């Protein structure tokens, strides 16, 4: 995928090109090209099993890629992993805390590895999160463990926060506390956040860029506002089989409700009401234009990607413009 023209190379906190990794016979991460702007809150979306965690581990040199290039904070990894990881806060999908330590001991243990550790703020977060310093890690609830993990990552004062499903399984109150601490840090320190999640509706509220991953491939990458505003679902009746230079990008088209006689449903980008006459000029009738929220757009993208359809109901994605290229245009 071509780099978005509004983002310069020096402005990227994370960049990958041709990134590939095969952990087993039945799954592979293939040709992933990420462009995460510095200072952005980047939502890395995808269903469970899409390859998000594998990609995160490749970014942090926890796995070595089979092919491609990874640059984090201006340095190539895994070659410069030690230098880079000193500037990164990481909350993994599964906690990596020693269960025999208390909360206070876990904080001191992590502080020993980070020269920029902010002990005062760590204590402030512990109190805000209502964590008792004498409580053993093994006795923490899932919500308390999630808060402790976020505390440890934030107290490092990282330039980049990499969060892998940080709020998965947390109740709404705990989720809000964790996200409020995160947003406070970002606003005060101008840090970059790369947050992987399948909770689409949650990321919609605060992310300013989004990448969509499915089946080991990057399906789309673009600013969040473009994702939310630029994708529409059209109900069109009597459309010709071939569209001649439409003024918008057709990402997918299929029979409405699976019944050809009821017309077609088009997933498009770049639509405006002024384009209605173009549809009528083809002999078709536009019945409806529906806005899509982030979750609906996410689902529609995955559907069109998985069925291998874009631009026409019988045209494979590989033979047409790739979804991510169309979206980033």
Per DSSP, the three-state class of 144 is helix
pLDDT tens readout for residues 278-319: 999 999 999 999 888 777 778 877 877 777 644 333 222 222
Q: Which of 50, 9, 15 is nearest to 306 (CA)?
A: 50
Plot region of 245 (φ>0 → left; ψ -120 to 50 → alpha; else → beta): left
Spell out the domain ranges in the chain: 9-215, 226-328
Mean pLDDT of 41-64: 94
Comparing 22-26, 133-137, 257-261, 292-296, the range with the smallest average pLDDT is 257-261
Mean pLDDT of 244-249: 90
Question: Does position 6 have pLDDT exceeding 60, yes or no?
Answer: no
Mean of per-residue pLDDT scores for the chain: 86
Tell the CATH topology of 9-215: Rossmann fold (3.40.50)
Residue 8: pLDDT band with limits 50, 70, 90: very low
d(CA 130, CA 276): 56
pTM: 0.81
């Amino acid at each position: 995928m071509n780099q978005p023209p509004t983002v310069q190379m020096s402005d990227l906190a994370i960049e990958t090109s041709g990134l590939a990794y095969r952990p087993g016979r039945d799954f592979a991460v293939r040709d992933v090209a990420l462009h995460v702007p510095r200072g952005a809150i980047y939502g890395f979306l995808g269903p469970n099993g899409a390859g998000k965690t594998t990609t995160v581990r490749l970014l942090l040199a926890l796995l070595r890629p089979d092919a491609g290039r990874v640059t984090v904070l201006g340095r190539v990894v895994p070659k410069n992993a030690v230098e880079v990881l000193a500037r990164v806060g990481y909350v993994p999908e599964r906690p990596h805390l020693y269960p025999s330590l208390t909360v206070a001991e876990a904080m001191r243990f992590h502080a020993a590895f980070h020269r920029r550790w902010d002990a005062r703020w760590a204590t402030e977060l512990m109190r805000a999160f209502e964590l008792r310093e004498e409580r053993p890690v093994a006795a923490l609830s899932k919500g308390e463990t999630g808060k402790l993990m976020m505390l440890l990552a934030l107290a490092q004062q990282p330039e980049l926060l990499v969060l892998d499903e940080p709020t998965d399984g947390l109740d709404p109150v705990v989720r809000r506390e964790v996200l409020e601490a995160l947003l406070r840090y970002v606003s005060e320190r101008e840090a970059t956040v790369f947050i992987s999640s399948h909770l689409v509706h949650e990321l919609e509220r605060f992310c300013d860029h989004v990448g969509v991953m499915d089946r080991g491939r990057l399906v789309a990458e673009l600013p969040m506002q473009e994702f939310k505003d630029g994708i529409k679902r059209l109900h069109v009746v009597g459309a010709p089989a071939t569209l001649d230079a439409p003024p918008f990008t057709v990402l997918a088209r299929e029979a409405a409700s699976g019944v050809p006689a009821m017309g077609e449903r088009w997933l498009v980008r770049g639509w405006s009401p002024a384009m209605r006459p173009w549809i009528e000029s083809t002999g078709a009738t536009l019945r409806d234009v529906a806005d899509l929220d982030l979750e609906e757009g996410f689902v529609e993208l995955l559907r069109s990607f998985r069925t291998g359809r874009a631009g026409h109901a019988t045209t494979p994605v590989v033979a047409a413009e790739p979804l991510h290229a169309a979206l980033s245009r």
